[in-house]
Chain A
């Protein structure tokens, strides 16, 4: 090394030297928790203004769903901007350069597990008392094994959904798969968040080829089938072994109150009719409970499957990109 090497060149050499990098990283230690959490959030694009994600409203018209893959170069540049605030001096810039690769990989892996931590602790009031289901007795969610090697950070993909359904059916169930047949387990969800009342953003760790959107179970509505003989329900099993399984057989006509102007369900008569028919189907039910009636009146959750070509062979989509 020549004695008169300018300092900035020496620093650059230092940042490129593997031994020096290891020494610097060892000296600095792992990123503080708040820094790594922040970097992970940014890799999941948390807080990035919507205009940066969708620069033109025509890209996401009302009542549409758009699939995408996340550009790792974009999120890397985002991380560079973040780290740049610490690069106040030349040695600090060299330090940033040496710490960046590991920090970026760690952030991407942490982002993939963002939703693994419990979203919100249950309030104490909800777990007290004998009549309440005992939340503390529930088995804790098994800890995710840190099986992922440190080298590979998953590619992210996802969709933007803009629909009145986002506002009207909050908490819709979202499952993404890496193959069109959904033969593999669902991809882990990195982020599932309403960005606006009618806009839902979903990010998956992996490239999606299929997405299933299902009406959330808490919203499944009560309804009847309009048959010529009158509104009816098809019976489901109420035996605990196979609760909810269709029983087949004749639908039961629901009873309404005798009111010429209003169609009001006669709950008592309907309960009796359903109970009678369940017994005729061999179901042992002494008295139909409210939850068993709910099971009969439920309509099956509508689910929609979308297949996407977003995970096609990595296209060189940056055609107009030239070397700076």
Chain B
């Protein structure tokens, strides 16, 4: 528990505590010096190169995802009077990245402190912060390093001076705390290491959070209990103590100051009131019930009973515009149902309309599965790469389907032929050329070629367009109540094969019934 280990994976439900995680390179300026001496033929030469770099930390602001949680929650109200406030940080070494200075402080002393204050202890241009605000102000860095008279700012450490030299226009978020409150609340130097530590938890049964190292968090606690504020309002500020080593309460108090200006890295407010607002309380107060619309049936008539039973099953009634433009209502039920539903295997729906369910007894549609079909199609169409990949995958099976079809067609080798071999597409293509393309080009049994010379690219000149029924046949067919579709299809197919079109008429068609 004392120092970061060669850690094993945290077990479910276990939390491992570490005193601190020190950054591999403390913030500061470094140089890499490479020296090389070469001796050859009694000649000595020496080469050297220097590469300078500096390791810096987030002196004035944290990144957007650095603060994972602030507790008690911002804006909440609860009986927090026996809690110490805390922040959970996503970077496990963040509290130890910057030496607080000036002077040398023991490693493992965090530069972050969580100050819990009341609104009377914060000053915004002479007044307490307005309700709902935390009293932060944005000032240029010079306003922090050389604050107005009577306000104590941090000692300008080398890092802060460098920062100002490099980025003269940089601003920072500060809070002005009354001098008395700072001396009363700020931790002593020796107390600081006890108010921050690192935790490792098992992240596998948690929601995946966007953190650099899942399961690792650093934790900074405040040292003040939220008790005794006249308005029960508390404001917590995560402040940087960089440059404050000489002003902490264990050091002699500098005189002549009324306020202390600190960099505020995060801040929030909450109310410590009579109601419990902690996690356990919220969980106990949760309402449970089925995932249904809470309505009670209006009456005992069959219609009300039907609606009540449908609602109990998770249905909702939504407005529905039919294809014909009629405005009506339809049942809808999402994928999340109040009770398990048995799977009902079906062939795939080819269209959203195929998934519509019509209840003849009530005359209502159930659009649940139609809506599912439609949103599945829309989501996939919106995902271009997957749509292309899916189409290519299906197309390879579709080409195989075409080949199988050709093989079971009349004159094909028949179903006893060996199953698709790796070279089946090539063989089938050769067969197709030999059986259909060549006769079409050369003409079959002395007949005219189906595919004519360039002067007659369609090969249809002088013939009736295949598949087009003459008016008489069509009228006869429609009067008999038949469907001209299959006949048109057959004629077109026959024409493409170079056969005589079958005779028209409903009686003559095998599928006409």
Contact = CB atoms under 8 A, between A and B. Distances in A.
Interface in A228-246: 231, 238, 240, 243
Interface string A167-210: 11111111100000000001001001110000010000001000
A257 B4 CA distance: 31
B405 A14 contact: yes
A310 B84 CA distance: 39
A2 to B, nearest CB: 7
B21 interface: yes
Interface stretch (B34-42, B66-74, B125-133, B444-452): B66-74
B385 interface: yes
B372 A75 contact: yes
B285 A63 contact: yes
Contacts of A143: none
Nearest to A131: B22
Interface in A290-319: 290-295, 297, 302-304, 306, 308, 310-312, 314-319
A160 B187 CA distance: 42
A53 B336 contact: yes
Contact of B335 (A19, A70, A173, A271): A70
Given A70-B336, A82-B380, 8 more contacts: A2-B510, A29-B393, A80-B348, A93-B350, A157-B340, A174-B205, A221-B84, A290-B193
Given A58-B294, A160-B336, A213 B358 contact: no
B54 interface: no
B401 A34 contact: no
B217 interface: yes
A96 B339 CA distance: 31
A219 to B, nearest CB: 6
Most chain A CB atoms below 10 A, which of B6, B334, B343, B371: B334
B394 A170 contact: no
Nearest to A320: B310
28 contacts: A10-B408, A15-B401, A32-B389, A49-B375, A63-B285, A67-B291, A71-B333, A75-B372, A76-B345, A77-B349, A80-B349, A81-B373, A85-B390, A92-B401, A122-B213, A133-B7, A167-B73, A168-B73, A172-B279, A263-B228, A264-B225, A290-B196, A310-B338, A312-B339, A318-B341, A319-B309, A320-B309, A320-B359
Contact of A302 (B73, B76, B283, B337): B283
Contacts of B354: 324
B395 interface: yes
B477 interface: no
Contacts of B204: 115
A64 interface: yes
A59 B289 CA distance: 9
B397 A82 contact: no
B273 to A, nearest CB: 15
B401 A94 contact: yes
B19 A54 contact: no
A324 B385 CA distance: 34
Interface in B365-415: 366, 368-381, 383, 385-387, 389-402, 404-405, 408, 410
B300 interface: no
B336 A34 contact: no
Contact of A304 (B213, B283, B340, B390): B283
Contacts of B92: 126
A252 interface: no
A75 B489 CA distance: 36
A42 B376 contact: yes
B361 to A, nearest CB: 7
Most chain A CB atoms below 10 A, which of B194, B205, B355, B401: B401
Most chain B CB atoms below 10 A, which of A2, A31, A123, A324: A324
Contacts of A55: 316, 318, 332, 334
Given A264-B223, A294-B17, A238 B346 contact: no
Contact of A119 (B5, B181, B208, B293): B208
B179 to A, nearest CB: 14
A99 B395 CA distance: 11
Nearest to B26: A131
A93 B397 CA distance: 10
Given A86-B390, A122-B212, A170 B207 contact: yes
B479 interface: no
A7 B376 contact: no
A279 interface: no
B288 interface: yes
Interface string B185-222: 10110110111111111111111111111101101010
A304 B17 CA distance: 24
A221 to B, nearest CB: 6
Given A69-B341, A213-B283, A226-B81, A91 B401 contact: yes
B448 to A, nearest CB: 24
A35 to B, nearest CB: 5
A87 B381 CA distance: 13
Given A83-B394, A268-B188, A318 B313 contact: yes
A6 interface: yes
Nearest to B347: A97
B169 interface: no
Contact of A66 (B21, B200, B291): B291
Interface in B277-301: 278-280, 282-294
B456 interface: no
A314 B344 CA distance: 13
A151 to B, nearest CB: 12
A261 interface: yes
Interface stretch (B8-16, B134-142, B432-440): B8-16
A4 B83 CA distance: 84
B212 A96 contact: no
Contact of A310 (B286, B339, B493): B339
B289 A97 contact: no
B23 A317 contact: no
A100 to B, nearest CB: 5
B45 interface: no
Contact of B69 (A27, A53, A169, A222): A169
Contacts of A79: 376
A308 B337 CA distance: 13
B201 A23 contact: no
Contact of A168 (B76, B293, B347, B376): B76
Give 4 nearest A-B pairs by CB, closest first. A129-B24, A81-B376, A302-B280, A95-B397
Interface string A111-143: 000010001101101101111111101110100
Contacts of A23: 400, 404, 419-420
B339 A314 contact: yes
A221 B71 contact: yes
A174 B283 CA distance: 13
